[in-house]
Amino acid sequence: MVTVSELVLDCRELSTSEINRALRAAADGTVARIVQPRGRHNLAVGLQNRLTVTIDGNAGYFVGGLCDGPDVTVDGFVGWSLGENLMSGTIRVRGNASECAGASAHGGLVVIEGDASSRAGISLKGGTVAVAGDVGHMSGFMAQAGTILVGGDAGESLGDSLYEAVVYVAGKVRSLGADARFEDLTDVDVAAVRELVEAAGFDHVDAERVTKVASARQLYNFDALKDQRY
């Protein structure tokens, strides 16, 4: 039987740079735990190794940003820009997230088991963002590719300037943003939502009863003469 040792990093004793350097130097398969975070910003940033990282408590801005591979779990709330520019791996928050969760994520999965504030999934570029609860206004703003799943309600201007990303909402949508529209669910949509629900661990979302929001594709081409008068 192989015993996996745990790397414990204490925020009371180590700077953020020291913690991130220790994580980057760890071998693939390492199980790491960050204790006493107390809202510390920039934890578990820029990791390219296959680690399992648990943050024991609330964390600040940019948790898990610029990562390509690790699995990060936060046992608490997080600040702005969770998982910004995530390339691969999983980031799970067992609480609420502030603005811009999953911003510009190219890949991987960001799971928020509580609510997310405004602009969740902003400029998404292929990643997946799953929120068990509600999301704030302008979520999915300028999302170019990828998937957003909202297990609760969505705020105003959902999907504003949406491109090829798709948003699924289990609850109510307060309003749609520019160039976003409702579309009928297809069998492919239902299958995709079921897979995402299972990956996120959301047992309250019925894949056949979500609302699909996609781009109306009216902003793809700029018409310089549209509103000119002669």
The tens digit of pLDDT for each residue in 183-203 reads 999 999 999 999 999 999 999
Taking the whole predicted model, whether its pTM rises above 0.75 is answered as yes
DSSP 5: P
**Model confidence band, residue 3 (pLDDT cutoffs 50, 70, 90):** very low
Residue 186 in any domain: the answer is: yes
CA pair distance 94, 11, nearest whole angstrom: 20
Give me the number of domains the chain comprises: 1
CATH number at residue 149: 2.160.20.60
pLDDT of 114-170, one tens digit each? 999 999 999 999 999 999 999 999 999 999 999 999 999 999 999 999 999 999 999
Residue 221 in any domain: the answer is: no
Residue 59 in any domain: the answer is: yes
Q: Strands 145-150, 125-131: parallel, antiparallel or unpaired by DSSP?
A: parallel
Partners of residue 145 on adjacent β-strands: 125
pLDDT reported for residue 2? 41
pLDDT (average), residues 98-117: 98
Asked if 54 contacts 35 with a C-beta cutoff of 8 angstroms, the reply is no
What's the first-to-final CA gap in the chain, in angstroms? 82
Per-residue pLDDT for 1 more than 50?
Answer: no
**Model confidence band, residue 4 (pLDDT cutoffs 50, 70, 90):** low
Per-residue pLDDT for 221 more than 80?
Answer: no
Residue 81 in any domain: the answer is: yes
Q: Which residues of 60-91 are buried (b: 16+ CB within 10 A; e: fewer)?
A: bbbbbbbbbbbbbbbbbbbbbbbbbbbbbbbb
Residue 109 in any domain: the answer is: yes
Domain boundaries, position 77: 6-16+38-215
pLDDT of 168-177, one tens digit each? 999 999 999 9
Residues in the chain: 230
pLDDT of 5-64, one tens digit each? 799 999 999 999 999 999 999 999 999 999 999 999 999 999 999 999 999 999 999 999
pLDDT reported for residue 219? 79
